[in-house]
Chains A and B, each alone.
Chain A
Amino acid sequence: MAGHSHFSPANVEEHFEFTSEGKKRVIYAFIAGVVALVLGIYLLSKGEAGGHEVANAGHEAVKAGHEAASEHLSGGAVSHQPAAEEHYDWTNRIWANVWLNAVFFTGIAIIGMFFVSLQYLTKSGWSSVMKRVPEAFPKFLYITLPILLLVFFFKGDAIFHWMHHGVTEVGNENYDKIIAGKSGYLNKTFFLVRLVGFFALWIGLWTVLRKKSLEEDLIGGTDLFTQLVRISTAFIVVFGASSSMFAWDWVMSIDTHWFSTMFGWYMFSSWHVTGLAVITLTILLLKDKGYMAYVNENHLHDLGKLMFAFSIFWTYVWFEQFLLIYYANMPEEIIYFLERWEGHNKIYKTSEILMVFLNFFFPFLVLMTRDAKRTRIFLKIAAFFIIVGHYIDFYQMIMPGVLGGHAGYGLVEFGMVTVFASAFIYIVSDELTKASLIAKNHPFLPEAVHHDI
């Protein structure tokens, strides 16, 4: 312990420099993403999307689902009309990708806020040394909000079955009794109110939290800490109350007929573990550049534990949702998994298996030992594949409902992820330069610096 006795808040301050070299690299990546995307779109328009698309997926796609689903058995709640089936437009694949990435990166951004709030709420000491990193993430909400809004306004009907023309209108040829029954919740106005409302609350609370947190660097004292705890509590309450709703809105309502009470917590668990992986990866990359010297292998060990534990938690939530639906085998529910397992000429089956492998077996085996959790390269590999795995998880949640048999992994997907990821890196790096990487007046900082497990 004696080795650390010279620790004092003054000598921990360090500023991240987003060098022009670094900026250039991120911008090149962005441009590469755009090029790939444009090329992908060009190929799509020619009908050659690349990837695993199966050309004649068309109408027989969810045959298995159709057979299992029969309306009189189930009180009429059978889903058998994925949005993509009729009037398929090749541009839908672009919008599906935009929506997928916007939701995925919104999650990463807001988990930054969730992580910091949770640390305040539980009065955790160890994490105070790294809290500036997740604290910078929510800045990206400013990017995803307009994207979500634009896609919703202009191409919402490409994504959401319930936005199709006439589905709630009695007598219309598209009329769908079940969807009409949900229109009290699923309608444009209410959807928008919720979307904007959640973002407003999140961004608002983050702005206050960030402001107070930066003030703490200047003033110190415990008053600001108490205020930060209050803001965090408010955020957790808001996030807890909204956690199920945004999952229903942005993802579950794509498969409009289908429903699962578990879905909100399932999507949250996916976001959460992805967020943890991104936090870990960011810290490791910063350390590689020589920053954050006070974050030692003990802190990394804890981050590793969190990724390990929440990968298992994700598995628990995913599996029990699956098991209950599989076991009861009710047509209106099981169709969701049939579609992903054997529907659409089985184009989703590989992803489904890969996803469970990457999100459970891989982190479970890689992060099991103590040494792995304390070794940077293992953590990097695990974090990277957790992020990839959960991207696939979101792909599985969104694509079958939007694109049906027309989905695939091609240049569009690759380009879109690259564009979003480089934008995310740019925005977060920029935000990181605005404050010391270590919150020097955090009252728990001495605990974190002496953290030893």
Chain B
Amino acid sequence: MSSTTNYILGVYDDEDEVLHAVSEVKSKGIKIEDVFTPFPIHGLDRAVGHERTRLPIAAFMFGVLGLTCALSLISYTMVFDWPMIIGGKDFFALPNWIPVTFEGTVLFTAFGLVITFCISNNLYPGNQPDLLDLRITDDKFVMAINVDKNKKVSADDIKKALKDSGAIEVNVK
């Protein structure tokens, strides 16, 4: 969100109102950039029109990777590199390896998932975002409309649409 972009912001103070407002504003042919909220609102991402995230697929892939790594390491060390008879079991004592394999799978899934999440949302330590409104993390719900991407609708119409949909303030940034 560089400062050169021109935004019109509708500020709301209720989660249900903002959810209705999204479809109302959209129905007037206005493209919404994003909505910023203090907490997750169920169905808001669908209303705004974001695609469903593919994070679960990433998590699954990391899980498979973790499983493979853990099993490979264990079988390499226990069967090929330095086989030892433990408790009278075969070298390839699969049941005994399930616990560590499971932990490895979980570890890879969790870290892979969170790292993917951070990268895909541009979250990293030291990131200082250009915040549209400081009250977003407190109690206000802010709908951001990029004027440059809404050439067909005049700025005044956008402001009016926001006001009509229940915004308590309309700001320009």
A: which residues have CB within 8 A of B?
1, 319, 322-323, 326-327, 329, 368-370, 452
Q: B88 to chain A: which residues have CB within 8 Å?
A: 329
Write the nearest CB–CB distance from A312 to chain B, whole angstroms. Answer: 11
- Please, how many angstroms separate the alpha-carbon atoms of A452 and B43 in the complex? 9
Write the nearest CB–CB distance from A102 to chain B, whole angstroms. Answer: 33
Q: Are A319 and B42 in contact (CB under 8 A)?
A: no
Cβ of B96 < 8 Å from any Cβ of A? yes
Q: B60 to chain A: which residues have CB within 8 Å?
A: 368
Interface of chain B residues 53 through 69 with chain A (CB within 8 A): 56, 60
Q: Are B87 and A319 in contact (CB under 8 A)?
A: no
Chain A, Cβ-Cβ closest to B42: A452
Q: B56 to chain A: which residues have CB within 8 Å?
A: 369-370
- Please, how many angstroms separate the alpha-carbon atoms of A316 and B7 in the complex? 53
Q: Are A329 and B98 in contact (CB under 8 A)?
A: no
User: Taking chain A's interface residues, is the majority helix, strand, or loop, or is none over half, making it mixed?
Assistant: helix
Contact with A along B4-17 (1 / 0, CB 8 A): 00000000000010
- Please, how many angstroms separate the alpha-carbon atoms of A327 and B90 in the complex? 12
Chain A, Cβ-Cβ closest to B99: A323
Q: B95 to chain A: which residues have CB within 8 Å?
A: 319, 322-323, 326-327
Chain A, Cβ-Cβ closest to B86: A327
Interface of chain B residues 76 through 99 with chain A (CB within 8 A): 87-88, 95-96, 98
Write the nearest CB–CB distance from B95 to chain A, whole angstroms. Answer: 5
A-B contact pairs, 18 of them (CB 8 A): A1-B16, A319-B95, A319-B98, A322-B95, A323-B95, A323-B96, A323-B98, A326-B95, A327-B87, A327-B95, A327-B96, A329-B87, A329-B88, A368-B60, A369-B56, A370-B56, A452-B42, A452-B43
Q: List 16 extra interface pairs beyond A323-B98, A452-B42, CB under 8 A.
A: A1-B16, A319-B95, A319-B98, A322-B95, A323-B95, A323-B96, A326-B95, A327-B87, A327-B95, A327-B96, A329-B87, A329-B88, A368-B60, A369-B56, A370-B56, A452-B43
Interface of chain B residues 13 through 27 with chain A (CB within 8 A): 16
Write the nearest CB–CB distance from B112 to chain A, whole angstroms. Answer: 16
Q: A1 to chain B: which residues have CB within 8 Å?
A: 16
Chain B, Cβ-Cβ closest to A452: B42
- Please, how many angstroms separate the alpha-carbon atoms of A400 and B88 in the complex? 26
Chain A, Cβ-Cβ closest to B60: A368
- Please, how many angstroms separate the alpha-carbon atoms of A282 and B96 in the complex? 39
Write the nearest CB–CB distance from A336 to chain B, whole angstroms. Answer: 15
Chain B, Cβ-Cβ closest to A368: B60
Q: A323 to chain B: which residues have CB within 8 Å?
A: 95-96, 98
- Please, how many angstroms separate the alpha-carbon atoms of A444 and B152 in the complex? 48
Q: B87 to chain A: which residues have CB within 8 Å?
A: 327, 329
- Please, how many angstroms separate the alpha-carbon atoms of A322 and B56 in the complex? 31
Write the nearest CB–CB distance from A24 to chain B, whole angstroms. Answer: 46
Write the nearest CB–CB distance from B27 to chain A, whole angstroms. Answer: 15
Chain B, Cβ-Cβ closest to A1: B16
Interface of chain B residues 144 through 166 with chain A (CB within 8 A): none
- Please, how many angstroms separate the alpha-carbon atoms of A368 and B42 in the complex? 22
Write the nearest CB–CB distance from A123 to chain B, whole angstroms. Answer: 21
- Please, how many angstroms separate the alpha-carbon atoms of A369 and B56 in the complex? 8
Q: A326 to chain B: which residues have CB within 8 Å?
A: 95
- Please, how many angstroms separate the alpha-carbon atoms of A322 and B98 in the complex? 12
- Please, how many angstroms separate the alpha-carbon atoms of A329 and B87 in the complex? 9
Write the nearest CB–CB distance from A363 to chain B, whole angstroms. Answer: 16
- Please, how many angstroms separate the alpha-carbon atoms of A331 and B43 in the complex? 58
- Please, how many angstroms separate the alpha-carbon atoms of A367 and B43 in the complex? 23
Write the nearest CB–CB distance from B25 to chain A, whole angstroms. Answer: 17
Write the nearest CB–CB distance from A376 to chain B, whole angstroms. Answer: 20
Q: B42 to chain A: which residues have CB within 8 Å?
A: 452
- Please, how many angstroms separate the alpha-carbon atoms of A368 and B56 in the complex? 10
Interface of chain B residues 85 through 139 with chain A (CB within 8 A): 87-88, 95-96, 98
Q: A452 to chain B: which residues have CB within 8 Å?
A: 42-43
Chain A, Cβ-Cβ closest to B96: A327
- Please, how many angstroms separate the alpha-carbon atoms of A329 and B93 in the complex? 13
Write the nearest CB–CB distance from A369 to chain B, whole angstroms. Answer: 7
- Please, how many angstroms separate the alpha-carbon atoms of A321 and B3 in the complex? 62
- Please, how many angstroms separate the alpha-carbon atoms of A368 and B109 in the complex? 15
Chain A, Cβ-Cβ closest to B43: A452
- Please, how many angstroms separate the alpha-carbon atoms of A452 and B16 in the complex? 15
